[in-house]
């Protein structure tokens, strides 16, 4: 048998897999393609991959035999059991030092487990988040790889060659860190994606329902927004979506059922934030907003019973309010990204990952769904100060939020008065007001806990000394044991 020539193998010929293979081929790599339903391999070779250097494999054994060592096999299959099943099938045909890469949206605890298991057997394992949808996969995704560090030198050139590039030519792919950190970063990316989408939906609802603007007018507004500090993929597609007319000449988006779906990555981000005790409120609200939207029937029924008792209509300066909404979008995004990076920092602490926050912002700068000009500013902030405690404390962002806050308050209060739901806007503003408060009412909360459960409290200035008071004269003097979630 002739010497193997494959640079990398790829399992899973759905659209993302096919496009990644074609992208790698464009960059001069020899890819060996395999799919569980083998006919798909033949079809791919006969059509999309016709005339390329792409090779096909009709079995896992053949796939592995066609790869140069150390073998690199990338899985682009459904997250969950399918990943474990393919790993089990691959292992008999791999040797120590060979690398398996999972390019799907796997849950990070699974990746942590797989890295450990595979490393204990002498293999290398990488969980790589890939973002950018079909087009990104084909022409330049954002790739977030983490896992066995020894794998990175073997993957670096392929991944960085096929990834998106920033305007200054930097690849939107770099080594994230150990264990499940690559998939964790991708998960937070998706959580932020949920937040950005909900923020824009709230802006859309204010423009449409409060100001009564037409879809054409909104298209022009999103177009303007996309020229400034909100310049981003999601604003760009929102502009195109609101301008898109159905065959009858009316806006298609207005006909779409207002019931959001979700595959779970935003929920995982919120759950992890709760586990870490990090107040990632905006993403949490974005997930719940999707859940509330899904209660369509219930909402339709409730709408016939529950009244708003809100102000009837907006009476202010429309032009100014459009600008206020733009500023509110920017402020909410600032707070959401600050929260996202807070979550990354806490997870890194808990997991012992050494994360490069500027590098993460750079990976998100291009190729992925949340790509935006703004991520360039975040990269700069972390490059200037890698130990930055919170994004809002970087002078560029402190100035930016200070400029936006008056508008943000006007938008949230108008929405409240008019009875328009803005869960992400309002929770972001509350977070901002809480984060900048030296004093919060948690003193009362601590007293209440001690009153009914003898949970003890500390006196300001005497931290570390836990005190219990017999508030009623009836309770005992014994405090409950301390338990912190
Ligand atoms: C990406 C996206 C992608 C995500 C889908 C669906 O980065 O390319 O985040 O990975 O899975 O957009 O997400 P939901 O169905 O949960 O909205």
Give the residue-averaged pLDDT of 25-36.
98
pLDDT score, position 483: 57
pLDDT band at 478 (very low <50, low <70, confident <90, very high): confident
d(CA 150, CA 228): 41
When the pLDDT of each residue in the chain is averaged and rounded to a whole number, the result is 96
How confident is the model over 314-356, as pLDDT tens digits?
A: 999 999 999 999 999 999 999 999 999 999 999 999 999 999 9
- 357 touches 386 (CB < 8 A): yes
Please report which confidence band the pLDDT of residue 311 belongs to, taking 50, 70 and 90 as the band edges.
Answer: confident
* Mean pLDDT, rounded, for 17-44: 98
> What atom in ligand 1 is closest to the CA of residue 193?
9
Mean per-residue pLDDT, 139-164: 98
Q: Which atom of ligand 1 is nearest to the CA of 263?
A: 16
pLDDT of residue 476: 74
Atom of ligand 1 lying closest to residue 264 CA? 16
The one-character DSSP state at 141 is -
Q: Which of 105, 106, 198 to mutate to test the pocket of ligand 1 (most atoms within 8 A of CB)?
A: 105
Nearest CA to ligand 1 atom 6: 263
Rounded to the nearest angstrom, the distance between the alpha carbon of 371 and the centre of ligand 1 is 14
Tokens 């699974």 belong to: 110
Ligand 1 midpoint to CA 204 (Å): 21
Q: Is the pLDDT of residue 379 over 70?
A: yes
Mutate to test the pocket of ligand 1, among 265, 270, 372 (most ligand atoms within 8 A of CB): 265
Q: What count of Cα atoms within 13 Å lies in the side-chain half-sphere of residue 202?
A: 36
Q: Token pair 């999707």 is at which residue?
A: 290
Atom of ligand 1 nearest to the CA of 190: 9
pLDDT digits (tens, 9 = 90+) for 94-134: 999 999 999 999 999 999 999 999 999 999 999 999 999 99
Query: Left, alpha or beta for 132 (phi > 0: left; psi -120 to 50: alpha)?
Result: left
Residue 122 CA to ligand 1 center (angstroms) comes to 33
How much is the pLDDT for 484? 67
Nearest residue (by CA) to ligand 1, atom 17, is: 262
**Rounded distance, CA 310 to CA 156, Å?**
57
Ligand 1, residues 194, 263, 271: which to mutate, most atoms within 8 A of Cβ? 263
Average pLDDT for residues 412-422, to the nearest whole number?
A: 96
Radius of gyration of the chain (CA): 26
Q: What angle do CA 278, 284, 287 make, to 5 degrees?
A: 155
Q: Which ligand 1 atom sits nearest the alpha carbon of residue 141? A: 8
Whether 296 and 257 have beta carbons less than 8 Å apart is answered as yes
The Cα 226–Cα 246 span in angstroms is: 24
- Closest-CA residue, ligand 1 atom 1, reads 131
Residue 103: which of 124, 131, 138, 122 has the closest Cα?
131
Q: Residues enclosing ligand 1, CB less than 6 A? A: 105, 131-133, 190, 193, 261-263, 265-266, 368-369
Q: What would the mean pLDDT of 401-427 be, rounded to a whole number?
A: 97
Look at residue 34 in the predicted model and tell me its pLDDT.
98
Nearest CA to ligand 1 atom 8: 131
Phi, psi (degrees; rounded to nearest 5) at 451: -60, -50
Catalytic positions, written as ranges = 186, 193
Q: In this structure, what DSSP letter does residue 143 have? A: E
Q: How far, in Å, CA of 384 to CA of 469, rounded?
A: 48
What is the model's pLDDT at position 222?
98
Residues in the chain: 485
Give 190 Cα–ligand 1 centroid separation in angstroms: 6
Confidence of residue 59 (pLDDT cuts 50, 70, 90): very high
- What confidence tier does 1 reach under pLDDT thresholds 50, 70, 90? low
Provide the H-helix boundaries in 121-180. Answer: 133-139, 152-162
Distance 131 CA to ligand 1 centre (A): 8
Q: How far is residue 214's CA from residue 220's CA, in Å, rounded to a whole number?
A: 10
- 399 CA → ligand 1 middle, Å: 32
Instruction: Tell me the pLDDT tens digit for each residue of 224-283.
Output: 999 999 999 999 999 999 999 999 999 999 999 999 999 999 999 999 999 999 999 999
Kindly report the protein residue whose alpha carbon is nearest to atom 4 of ligand 1. 190
What tokens does 114 get? 């797989």
């Amino acid at each position: 048998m002739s010497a193997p020539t494959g640079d990398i193998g790829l399992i899973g010929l759905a659209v993302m897999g096919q496009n990644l293979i074609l992208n790698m081929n464009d960059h001069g790599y020899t890819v060996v393609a395999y799919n569980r339903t083998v006919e798909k391999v033949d079809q791919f070779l006969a059509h999309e991959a016709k005339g390329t250097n792409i090779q096909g494999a009709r079995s896992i054994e053949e796939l592995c035999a066609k790869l140069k060592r150390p073998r690199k096999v990338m899985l682009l299959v459904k997250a969950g059991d399918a990943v474990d099943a393919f790993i089990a099938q691959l292992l008999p045909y791999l040797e120590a030092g060979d690398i398996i890469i999972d390019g799907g949206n796997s849950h990070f605890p699974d990746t942590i487990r797989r890295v450990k298991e595979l490393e204990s057997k002498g293999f290398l394992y990488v969980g790589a988040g890939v973002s950018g949808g079909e087009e990104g996969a084909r022409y330049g995704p954002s790739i977030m790889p983490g896992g066995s560090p020894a794998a990175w030198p073997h993957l670096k050139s392929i991944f960085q060659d096929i990834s998106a590039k920033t305007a200054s030519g930097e690849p939107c792919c770099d080594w994230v860190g150990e264990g499940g950190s690559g998939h964790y970063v991708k998960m937070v990316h998706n959580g932020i994606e949920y937040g950005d989408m909900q923020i824009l939906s709230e802006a859309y609802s204010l423009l449409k329902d409060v100001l009564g603007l037409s879809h054409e007018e909104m298209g022009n507004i999103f177009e303007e927004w996309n020229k400034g500090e909100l310049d981003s993929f999601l604003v760009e597609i929102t502009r195109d979506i609101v301008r898109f007319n159905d065959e009858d000449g009316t806006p298609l988006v207005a006909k779409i059922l207002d019931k959001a779906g979700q595959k779970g990555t935003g929920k995982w981000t919120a759950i992890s934030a709760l586990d870490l005790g990090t107040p990632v409120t905006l993403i949490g609200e974005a997930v719940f907003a999707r859940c509330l939207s899904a209660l369509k029937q219930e909402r339709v029924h409730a709408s016939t019973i529950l009244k708003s008792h809100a102000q009837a209509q907006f009476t202010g300066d429309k032009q100014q309010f459009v600008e206020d909404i733009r500023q509110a979008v920017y402020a909410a995004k600032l707070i959401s990204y600050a929260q996202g990076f807070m979550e990354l920092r806490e997870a890194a602490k808990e997991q012992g990952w050494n994360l490069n926050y500027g590098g993460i912002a750079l990976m998100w700068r291009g190729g992925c769904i949340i790509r935006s000009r703004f991520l360039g500013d975040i990269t700069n902030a972390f490059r200037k100060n890698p130990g930055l405690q919170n994004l809002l404390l970087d002078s560029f962002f402190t100035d930016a939020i200070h400029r936006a806050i008056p508008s943000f308050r006007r938008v949230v209060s108008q929405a409240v008065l008019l009875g328009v739901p803005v869960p992400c806007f309002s929770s972001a503003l509350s977070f901002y007001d809480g984060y900048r408060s030296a004093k919060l009412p948690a003193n009362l909360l601590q007293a209440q806990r001690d009153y009914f459960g003898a949970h003890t409290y500390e006196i300001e200035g005497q931290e570390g000394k836990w005190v219990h008071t017999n508030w009623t004269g009836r309770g005992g003097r014994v405090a409950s044991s301390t338990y912190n979630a």
